[in-house]
Chains A and B, each alone.
Chain A
């Protein structure tokens, strides 16, 4: 069973800064099957990235995904106020990572 470990647990940054979030798999994962979601309080998760690096429809280009094998990264190039939220990675419609909270510093 694959385990996805996200780090850090919490990221404290200011608007305009760059955010780098990590998702590490316990064994190799196909890049085609790695997705990232954003979740705000009281809302369902929102798909940001699929196939490790493809942005979902309507997602701003400040969000980018990269990685392969066991190491994947979500980067937010310049944080906007609406980007402060919790982010999850997921492997092929199944297991999720534990999440990274991006909070305002």
Chain B
């Protein structure tokens, strides 16, 4: 079955750019039936949708983060990536990647999540 795994630095300095990659295994990221999504969760808080990308490169971002977010896809590596610029302590969170079904828009499966801390 399809599995997703986040990877990237666990510590980022304030004002720098957070970069994460999600590797998809057990299925093709080029399937037209899915979007590929990033979601985050600050410690002790709720889930926040960051954005998602279609294999063609079309992107949809949370308006509250849009000015700082870039999501890209590399179909040759079966990966998609997140870049979040000008980070502050408020960007400290567990970052999840997930597959989103095109027909119903639900996220399944999810990666295990990776904690990114913003601190000097």
Residues of A near any B CB (own CB < 8 A): 1, 32-33, 35, 37, 39, 44-45, 47, 50-51, 56, 86, 88, 90-99
Contact = CB atoms under 8 A, between A and B. Distances in A.
Interface string B78-119: 000000000000000000100011011111101111000000
Size category of the B interface is 20 to 34
Contact of A35 (B37, B52, B107, B110): B107
A100 B103 CA distance: 26
Contacts of A44: 96, 110-113
A52 to B, nearest CB: 10
Interface in B22-70: 35, 37, 39, 46-49, 52, 60, 62-63
A86 B45 CA distance: 11
Given A88-B47, A96-B48, A35 B111 contact: no
